[in-house]
Structure 1
Amino acid sequence: MSIQDIIEGKKQWRAHLARVKALPQDYRIVYKEMQRYLFKVGPIDLPDGPLLPGILDFFEEGVAGGKGVLELTGTDVAAFCDDLVKDSPTYADAYQKSLAGEPDTAER
Protein backbone atom coordinates (compact mmCIF):
# COMPACT_ATOMS: atom_id res chain seq x y z
CA MET A 1 0.00 0.00 0.00
CA SER A 2 1.48 3.28 -1.07
CA ILE A 3 1.29 6.63 0.65
CA GLN A 4 -1.10 7.82 -2.05
CA ASP A 5 -3.47 4.91 -1.28
CA ILE A 6 -3.40 5.77 2.42
CA ILE A 7 -4.14 9.44 1.72
CA GLU A 8 -6.99 8.53 -0.64
CA GLY A 9 -8.41 6.13 1.94
CA LYS A 10 -8.37 8.84 4.59
CA LYS A 11 -10.12 11.28 2.24
CA GLN A 12 -12.84 8.72 1.54
CA TRP A 13 -13.28 7.97 5.24
CA ARG A 14 -13.54 11.69 6.09
CA ALA A 15 -16.16 12.15 3.36
CA HIS A 16 -18.03 9.16 4.79
CA LEU A 17 -17.95 10.68 8.29
CA ALA A 18 -19.21 14.00 6.92
CA ARG A 19 -22.21 12.16 5.47
CA VAL A 20 -22.82 10.50 8.86
CA LYS A 21 -22.72 13.90 10.61
CA ALA A 22 -25.35 15.18 8.18
CA LEU A 23 -27.85 12.54 9.35
CA PRO A 24 -30.49 13.42 11.97
CA GLN A 25 -29.43 12.69 15.54
CA ASP A 26 -31.42 9.46 15.96
CA TYR A 27 -29.95 8.04 12.76
CA ARG A 28 -26.44 9.09 13.84
CA ILE A 29 -26.80 7.37 17.19
CA VAL A 30 -28.00 4.12 15.63
CA TYR A 31 -25.34 4.28 12.90
CA LYS A 32 -22.54 4.72 15.44
CA GLU A 33 -23.85 1.85 17.56
CA MET A 34 -24.07 -0.34 14.46
CA GLN A 35 -20.55 0.66 13.46
CA ARG A 36 -19.23 -0.15 16.94
CA TYR A 37 -21.00 -3.52 16.93
CA LEU A 38 -19.82 -4.41 13.43
CA PHE A 39 -16.22 -3.53 14.22
CA LYS A 40 -16.40 -6.02 17.09
CA VAL A 41 -18.15 -8.91 15.35
CA GLY A 42 -18.33 -7.93 11.72
CA PRO A 43 -16.71 -9.11 8.55
CA ILE A 44 -13.02 -9.02 7.82
CA ASP A 45 -13.46 -6.58 4.92
CA LEU A 46 -15.52 -4.08 6.95
CA PRO A 47 -13.12 -1.10 6.74
CA ASP A 48 -12.66 -1.43 2.97
CA GLY A 49 -15.89 -3.13 2.01
CA PRO A 50 -19.27 -1.84 0.90
CA LEU A 51 -21.17 -2.53 4.13
CA LEU A 52 -20.79 0.78 5.99
CA PRO A 53 -21.37 2.95 2.90
CA GLY A 54 -24.36 0.76 2.08
CA ILE A 55 -25.85 1.29 5.53
CA LEU A 56 -25.29 5.01 5.16
CA ASP A 57 -27.02 5.03 1.76
CA PHE A 58 -29.92 3.07 3.29
CA PHE A 59 -30.21 5.56 6.14
CA GLU A 60 -30.08 8.56 3.79
CA GLU A 61 -32.94 7.04 1.78
CA GLY A 62 -34.88 6.56 5.02
CA VAL A 63 -34.35 10.20 5.97
CA ALA A 64 -35.48 11.31 2.50
CA GLY A 65 -38.57 9.11 2.86
CA GLY A 66 -39.41 10.62 6.25
CA LYS A 67 -39.06 7.33 8.13
CA GLY A 68 -37.72 6.87 11.63
CA VAL A 69 -34.52 4.91 11.98
CA LEU A 70 -36.17 2.10 13.95
CA GLU A 71 -38.74 1.72 11.19
CA LEU A 72 -35.81 0.73 8.96
CA THR A 73 -33.81 -1.44 11.33
CA GLY A 74 -36.42 -2.71 13.76
CA THR A 75 -36.01 -2.47 17.51
CA ASP A 76 -33.28 -5.13 17.69
CA VAL A 77 -30.45 -3.35 15.90
CA ALA A 78 -27.92 -6.08 16.76
CA ALA A 79 -30.10 -8.68 15.03
CA PHE A 80 -30.32 -6.36 12.02
CA CYS A 81 -26.51 -6.17 11.93
CA ASP A 82 -26.19 -9.93 12.31
CA ASP A 83 -28.47 -10.42 9.30
CA LEU A 84 -26.29 -8.05 7.27
CA VAL A 85 -23.11 -10.03 7.93
CA LYS A 86 -24.47 -13.57 8.23
CA ASP A 87 -22.75 -14.83 5.06
CA SER A 88 -19.53 -12.84 5.45
CA PRO A 89 -16.34 -14.27 6.93
CA THR A 90 -15.59 -12.70 10.30
CA TYR A 91 -12.48 -12.44 12.42
CA ALA A 92 -13.98 -15.10 14.68
CA ASP A 93 -14.29 -17.42 11.66
CA ALA A 94 -10.67 -16.78 10.68
CA TYR A 95 -9.57 -17.45 14.25
CA GLN A 96 -11.50 -20.72 14.36
CA LYS A 97 -9.92 -21.79 11.08
CA SER A 98 -6.46 -20.94 12.38
CA LEU A 99 -7.10 -23.06 15.47
CA ALA A 100 -8.21 -25.92 13.26
CA GLY A 101 -5.00 -25.58 11.24
CA GLU A 102 -6.71 -24.81 7.96
CA PRO A 103 -4.51 -23.12 5.34
CA ASP A 104 -5.00 -19.60 3.99
CA THR A 105 -5.78 -18.02 7.33
CA ALA A 106 -2.42 -16.44 8.05
CA GLU A 107 -2.88 -13.71 5.41
CA ARG A 108 -5.96 -12.32 7.15
Structure 2
Amino acid sequence: MERIEVDQVVMGLILNAGNAKQHIYQALKCVKEGTLAKSEEEIRLAEEALTEAHNIQTSFLVKEANGQASEITALFIHAQDHLMTTITEINLIKEIIEMRKEFKNLLKIGEIEND
Protein backbone atom coordinates (compact mmCIF):
# COMPACT_ATOMS: atom_id res chain seq x y z
CA MET A 1 0.00 0.00 0.00
CA GLU A 2 1.46 3.34 -1.00
CA ARG A 3 2.20 5.97 1.62
CA ILE A 4 -0.30 8.37 0.06
CA GLU A 5 -3.04 5.74 0.33
CA VAL A 6 -2.29 5.17 4.03
CA ASP A 7 -2.47 8.92 4.60
CA GLN A 8 -5.82 9.03 2.80
CA VAL A 9 -7.12 6.24 5.03
CA VAL A 10 -5.96 8.07 8.15
CA MET A 11 -7.49 11.37 7.09
CA GLY A 12 -10.71 9.65 6.02
CA LEU A 13 -11.04 8.04 9.44
CA ILE A 14 -10.34 11.28 11.30
CA LEU A 15 -12.61 13.39 9.06
CA ASN A 16 -15.59 11.04 9.14
CA ALA A 17 -15.27 10.24 12.85
CA GLY A 18 -15.07 13.98 13.56
CA ASN A 19 -18.15 14.65 11.45
CA ALA A 20 -20.04 11.87 13.23
CA LYS A 21 -19.09 13.30 16.62
CA GLN A 22 -20.14 16.79 15.59
CA HIS A 23 -23.55 15.55 14.43
CA ILE A 24 -24.26 13.44 17.51
CA TYR A 25 -23.49 16.34 19.85
CA GLN A 26 -25.73 18.56 17.71
CA ALA A 27 -28.46 15.91 18.07
CA LEU A 28 -28.12 16.08 21.85
CA LYS A 29 -28.32 19.88 21.75
CA CYS A 30 -31.46 19.70 19.61
CA VAL A 31 -33.16 17.35 22.07
CA LYS A 32 -32.32 19.73 24.92
CA GLU A 33 -33.91 22.55 22.91
CA GLY A 34 -36.97 20.46 22.05
CA THR A 35 -36.37 20.16 18.31
CA LEU A 36 -36.81 16.41 18.04
CA ALA A 37 -37.09 16.21 14.24
CA LYS A 38 -33.80 18.06 13.85
CA SER A 39 -32.26 15.75 16.45
CA GLU A 40 -33.31 12.68 14.46
CA GLU A 41 -31.75 14.18 11.32
CA GLU A 42 -28.49 14.84 13.17
CA ILE A 43 -28.46 11.25 14.45
CA ARG A 44 -28.94 10.03 10.87
CA LEU A 45 -26.03 12.20 9.70
CA ALA A 46 -23.85 10.96 12.55
CA GLU A 47 -24.58 7.35 11.67
CA GLU A 48 -23.92 8.05 7.98
CA ALA A 49 -20.49 9.56 8.74
CA LEU A 50 -19.71 6.72 11.14
CA THR A 51 -20.62 4.17 8.47
CA GLU A 52 -18.27 5.88 6.01
CA ALA A 53 -15.44 5.79 8.56
CA HIS A 54 -16.15 2.13 9.28
CA ASN A 55 -16.14 1.31 5.56
CA ILE A 56 -12.74 2.99 5.17
CA GLN A 57 -11.39 1.06 8.14
CA THR A 58 -12.79 -2.24 6.87
CA SER A 59 -11.31 -1.72 3.41
CA PHE A 60 -7.91 -1.02 4.95
CA LEU A 61 -8.10 -4.12 7.18
CA VAL A 62 -9.19 -6.36 4.30
CA LYS A 63 -6.17 -5.25 2.24
CA GLU A 64 -3.87 -6.00 5.15
CA ALA A 65 -5.52 -9.39 5.72
CA ASN A 66 -4.89 -10.15 2.04
CA GLY A 67 -1.17 -9.60 2.50
CA GLN A 68 -0.83 -5.92 1.57
CA ALA A 69 1.05 -4.86 4.68
CA SER A 70 1.29 -1.18 5.40
CA GLU A 71 3.17 1.09 7.73
CA ILE A 72 1.36 1.74 10.99
CA THR A 73 2.11 5.26 12.14
CA ALA A 74 1.26 7.18 15.29
CA LEU A 75 -1.22 9.15 13.19
CA PHE A 76 -2.93 5.92 12.10
CA ILE A 77 -3.20 4.83 15.73
CA HIS A 78 -4.63 8.26 16.57
CA ALA A 79 -7.22 7.87 13.80
CA GLN A 80 -8.25 4.45 15.12
CA ASP A 81 -8.49 5.86 18.64
CA HIS A 82 -10.58 8.77 17.38
CA LEU A 83 -12.94 6.36 15.62
CA MET A 84 -13.31 4.09 18.67
CA THR A 85 -14.01 7.05 20.94
CA THR A 86 -16.59 8.40 18.50
CA ILE A 87 -18.38 5.04 18.36
CA THR A 88 -18.57 4.98 22.15
CA GLU A 89 -19.77 8.58 22.37
CA ILE A 90 -22.47 7.99 19.75
CA ASN A 91 -23.77 4.96 21.63
CA LEU A 92 -23.84 6.81 24.95
CA ILE A 93 -25.36 10.00 23.54
CA LYS A 94 -28.11 8.04 21.78
CA GLU A 95 -29.01 6.55 25.17
CA ILE A 96 -28.97 10.00 26.78
CA ILE A 97 -31.23 11.30 24.02
CA GLU A 98 -33.70 8.47 24.61
CA MET A 99 -33.69 9.16 28.36
CA ARG A 100 -34.34 12.87 27.74
CA LYS A 101 -37.26 12.00 25.47
CA GLU A 102 -38.71 9.66 28.08
CA PHE A 103 -38.27 12.30 30.77
CA LYS A 104 -40.04 14.92 28.65
CA ASN A 105 -42.91 12.48 28.05
CA LEU A 106 -43.24 11.85 31.78
CA LEU A 107 -43.35 15.59 32.39
CA LYS A 108 -46.08 15.99 29.75
CA ILE A 109 -48.33 13.36 31.26
CA GLY A 110 -47.72 14.57 34.79
CA GLU A 111 -46.01 11.45 36.06
CA ILE A 112 -43.27 13.61 37.57
CA GLU A 113 -43.21 17.20 38.71
CA ASN A 114 -41.05 19.84 37.08
CA ASP A 115 -39.54 21.97 39.82
Structure 1 length-normalised TM: 0.33
Q: Which has the higher contact order (CA 8 A, sep 6+)?
A: 2
TM-score, with structure 2 as normaliser: 0.32
Query: Whose helix fraction is larger, Structure 1's or Structure 2's?
Result: 2
Who wins on radius of gyration, i.e. which is larger? 2
